[in-house]
Amino acid sequence: MKNIIRWPGLIAFFVITGLIAAIIILFFDFWIKLAAQKGLEVATGAEVNISSAEHSFSPFGISLIGVQLTDPNKPTNNQLEAAKISADIELSPLLLRKVIIDNLIVSGVQFGTERASEGEVFRVNSADAAKTALKELFPSKADLPSVDEVLARSPLKTTRAIEEAQAAYQKHKDTIAGEYQKLPSKDKLVEYKKQIEVLSKTNYKDPAELLAAKEKFDLLKKEIKVDKQVLSDFKNSVSAAKQDLSPKIAQLKAAPGQDYEQLKSLVAGDAGAINDVTTLVFGEKAAQWTEYGLAAFDIVAPMLKSKEQQQTEEAVSAGRWVSFDDRSGLPELWIKNADISISWQQETILSVWHNITYQHDIIGRATTFKIDSNKSSLWQSFKLDGDFWLKDSGVSAQQSWQLAGLKLSNIDLVNQDKLSSKLLAGIVSSKGNVKVNQNTLSGEGVINLANLSMEAQGSNKITNIIANTLAQLTQLTLNTDVAGVIGDLDLSFSSDLNQQLGSALLTNIGKEEQGKLDELKAKLNAQMQSALGTQDAQLSEWLDWENLADGDMGSLEEMLNSKMNSVVDNKKNELEDKLKDKLKGKLFGN
Amino acid sequence: MGLLVKLFKALNSDSSPWQLAFGFTLGMIMGLTPILGLHSLILLFSVLFFRVNLSSFLVAWALFSIFTLPLDAFMSSVGESLLTAESLTPMWTAFYSNTVGQLTQFYHTLTLGSLIVALLLSPFILLISQFLVVKYREKVMVWVNKIKLVQFIKGSNFYRLYQGLGE
C-alpha cells in the first residue's frame, strides 16, 4: 500500500485545486463579463460592451454595470443601453445549465443612445433597406415627368374606357352585321304587300277559289313570320349592343375629366413630393417611437429566440446537452420577475415583467409586461400592457398602449438638402394595439399631434410650399398601420397632410405648370375623341337599323292581320245573308 | 521538449513499467475528454495520490488532446446514441435529477461519449504501453546506450545542460 499511495500527492492535489478555485474566484467577475458579452452578442448580432461585472455568493447574484447593445441597423447608436443589470440566480439549477432568475432589476434603460465608437455588427438586418429608400422622395424640378411620361406610366381611366368600349363594340359588331345581312330586302317586303293586296281585293264568288286563296295566304303568312323572326332577332341584338355600349361611351366621355383631376397634381409637380410626405416628415420619428413601444416584441422576443437557436447551434458543433425530465419542469432560462426602469428625458418609466423565457410551453405561462405611469412633468398618463408566448411555430403576442399629453420639444423630423423640418413644440397622444400571430404582426394606432409649432425650410418651389404648409400646421392626426414580422416591422403612416399639400401646390402653380396641365387636358380629350368618333358613329348606325327594322315589322304585322281577315269576314257575312234568305223563303212561302 | 526528456528519463529510470503505463493511460483519458467536469478532478486526484508516473501522464495528455480534433464528432455521436437510447432513459433521468449526476455533466453528449471511448480504450492502452516499456528497456535502451554517438552526447556538457533545463 505504501508503494501505491503518494501522500505528498494528496497535498499537491489540494494545492492545485485550491489554486484553480482561487483563480476562478479572483477572476470571477471577468468570466461573468466575458460570458455575458458573448451571450448577448450572439443574441443581438452586434457588439456588446459591459463596463464591469460584480457578484455575490449569498444569495448568489451577479450585476452588470454599463451595458451597451449596439444597434445592428445603426452601429453608431445603441439599440439599448442599461446603467445596471442585477440578477438573483438560483444556484442548483445552474448545474443543469438552467438559468433561473428570481428577480431581475434593470435600471437606467435608454434606447437609441449614441455610441462613443461604432459598434461591430455580426448579423446584418435587411429591414433597413426600406428606411433608406424613403430618404430621397422630394423631387427637384428636373425630376418632374413630362406629360407623355405621365400618360404612359399612369393607369388612365380614359385608356381603360377606350379599351372597354372597343371590346364591347367588337363583341357585338359581327353578330349585328351578320343578322343585318339576313334581314328581308325592301323588294321582298313590297312583293309581300302586292300579293296580299291581290288576295284581299279579288271578289271570290266561288268558295273553292276562296279556299285556295286562303291556303296561299297561309303559306305567305309562314314566310312573313320567318322574316319577322329574323327582324325580331336583329332588333334584340341591337338592343343588347345598345345597352352594353351606351354606358361605356358615357364612361369614355367622362374619363378624360376624371383623369385630369387625378393627374394634374402629378404634372404640376407635387405628387412625387406629397405621395408620402407624412411618412417622410413624421415617419422616421413616429417609426422610432412605435419601435420603442413595441420593443418587447421587436427586441426582447428575437433575443430570446436567438438564445434558443444558439443552444441548438452549439449542439451541432461540440456535443449537446440532453435534457431529461428532472421532475422540476424548469426551462433553460426563466426570469420570474423583472423590474426594468427606462430613463427618458429626466423621467423614469418603470416596466414590470413576469415569466421571461423562450420556453413558454414548459412553464405554461406567457411573458407579461406592463407600464402604468401616472402624471409626470412630461405626460399626463402612459399605460402599456401586453404579453408574448414563444412557440416552435413562432411568436404569439398582443400589446395595447395609451399615451396622453406627452410634451414634445425640439425634435428634428427631416434633414435633407431639399427640405428640413423641426418640431419646436407639441403635445402627442396616442393609442393603439398590436397582435402577433406566428410572427406576423397586425395592428393599428393613432397618433394625435396637437398645439404644434413647427419650423421648416425648403430649397425649391415645391419644397418651399411643403415647408410653408408644415409651418402652418397646428394639429395633425397620424394613422399608423403595423404589419410585417417580428424583427422586421413594417410601419406605414397616413394623414390628411397629403391633401393639404396637394391643394397648396395646385394654388401655387406657375405658367410652365399651367401649360403642362393644358397639354394634359388636350391629350386626354384627343384620346377620347378619336376613340369616341368610331364608337359613336357605329352606335348611331345600329340605332338607324333598329328604327328601320321597327318600321318593317310594323307594316308586316299590319298587312298580315287587317287585310286578309276582312276578306274572310265579308265572305262569311255574305254566305250568312244568303243562307238566311233561303230559310225565310222556305218558312214563310215567298 | 522538457516533457519528452522527462519521459525518456522515466523510461530509463527504475520506475516500474506499470507506473508508466498507468500514467500514460490516465493521460489518455484526460486528453480525450473535456477538461471541465468532475471526471477531470477524479483523474487529477488519482494521478497525484497514487504512485503513477507524472511524465507519462503529461505526455499522453498532450498527445491525445491532439487526437480530439478528428475524434470529437465520433465521440459525440457515441454519447448521443447512449443518451437518446430509450432503454437507458430511466437511468439518465434518475442521474439527471441527482446532484452528483448533475456534477458529472454526463448528459453532455461529448463528455459522456469521450469518457466511454477513453474507458473502453484504457485496458488496451494500459497493456500495450506496459508491454512497450518493457520491450524498450530490454532492447532499445540497451542498443541505444551502446551507440558511440549517444555515449558521446551523454558525456557532453551540452547534454548535461539540456538535462538541467528539463528538470
How high is the pLDDT of residue A390? Answer: 84
How high is the pLDDT of residue A149? Answer: 66
Q: Is the pLDDT of residue A139 over 50?
A: no
ipTM beyond 0.85?
no
pLDDT, tens digit, 9 for 90 and up, residues A256-289:
887 777 666 666 554 444 555 677 677 777 777 7
* Cα(A82)–Cα(A80) distance, integer angstroms: 7
Cα A572 from chain centroid? 82
Secondary structure (DSSP) of A151-190: HHHS--HHHHHHHHHHHHHHHHHHHHHHHHHHSPPHHHHH
How high is the pLDDT of residue A133? Answer: 39
As beta bridge partners, residue A54 has A63
Secondary structure (DSSP) of A404-422: EEEEEEEEEEEE-SSEEEE
Contact A161, A248 (CB under 8 A): yes
- How many CB pairs below 8 A link A and B? 74
Place A221 in a pLDDT band, splitting at 50, 70 and 90.
confident
- Through-space distance between the first and last CA atoms of chain A, rounded to whole angstroms: 177
* Dihedral-angle region of residue A329 (phi above 0 means left; psi in -120 to 50 means alpha; beta otherwise): left
Nearest neighbour of A13 by CB, restricted to B45, B80, B102: B45
Nearest neighbour of A325 by CB, restricted to B41, B44, B93: B93
How far does A313 lie from chain B, in Å, by closest CA?
14
pLDDT, tens digit, 9 for 90 and up, residues A534-577:
767 777 777 787 777 777 777 777 766 655 556 666 667 777 77
Residue B50 in contact with partner chain A when CB distance is under 8 A:
yes
What type of residue is A141? Answer: K
Asked if B48 lies within 8 A of A325 by C-beta distance, the reply is: no
pLDDT, tens digit, 9 for 90 and up, residues A84-126:
999 999 888 887 778 899 999 999 888 888 898 998 888 765 4
Residue whose C-alpha cell reads 274572310 in the numeric block: A568
Place A374 in a pLDDT band, splitting at 50, 70 and 90.
confident
**Distances from the Cα of A50 to the Cαs of A41, A252, A267, A305, B143, in angstroms?**
11, 70, 56, 22, 63
Residues of A in contact with B83 (CB under 8 A): 322
Nearest neighbour of B96 by CB, restricted to A4, A9, A324: A324
Q: Is the pLDDT of residue A132 over 70?
A: no
Secondary structure (DSSP) of B84-129: T-GGGHHHHHHHHTSHHHHHHTTTBHHHHHHHHHHHHHHHHHHHHH
Higher pLDDT among residues A317 and B13, named by residue: B13
Q: Is the pLDDT of residue B124 over 90?
A: yes
As beta bridge partners, residue A454 has A423
Secondary structure (DSSP) of A464-502: HHHHHHHHH---EEEEEEEEEETTEEEEEEE-THHHHHH
Asked if B93 lies within 8 A of A323 by C-beta distance, the reply is: no
* Cα(A300)–Cα(A297) distance, integer angstroms: 6
How high is the pLDDT of residue B115? Answer: 95
- Mean of the per-residue pLDDT values for chain A? 78
Q: Are strands A99-111 and A333-344 parallel, antiparallel or unpaired?
A: parallel
Q: Is the pLDDT of residue B26 over 90?
A: yes
CB-CB neighbours of B56 under 10 Å: 27
Asked if B50 lies within 8 A of A9 by C-beta distance, the reply is: yes
User: Where are chain A's structural domains?
Assistant: 1-125, 127-142+269-320+396-508, 156-259+525-588
Higher pLDDT among residues A225 and A488, named by residue: A225
What type of residue is A496? Answer: D
* Cα(A43)–Cα(A69) distance, integer angstroms: 10
DSSP B1: -
Nearest neighbour of B111 by CB, restricted to A95, A96, A319: A319
At a CB cut-off of 8 Å and minimum separation 6, what does A583 contact?
Answer: none
Residue A6 in contact with partner chain B when CB distance is under 8 A:
yes
Residue A16 in contact with partner chain B when CB distance is under 8 A:
yes
How high is the pLDDT of residue A247? Answer: 85
* Cα(A458)–Cα(A141) distance, integer angstroms: 13
Listed ranges A62-66, A151-155, A178-182; the one with the highest mean pLDDT: A62-66
Residue B87 in contact with partner chain A when CB distance is under 8 A:
no
* Cα(A337)–Cα(A113) distance, integer angstroms: 26
As beta bridge partners, residue A453 has A425
CB-CB neighbours of A59 under 10 Å: 11
Q: Is the pLDDT of residue A15 over 90?
A: yes
How high is the pLDDT of residue A271? Answer: 47
* Cα(A519)–Cα(A228) distance, integer angstroms: 53
What type of residue is A69? Answer: L
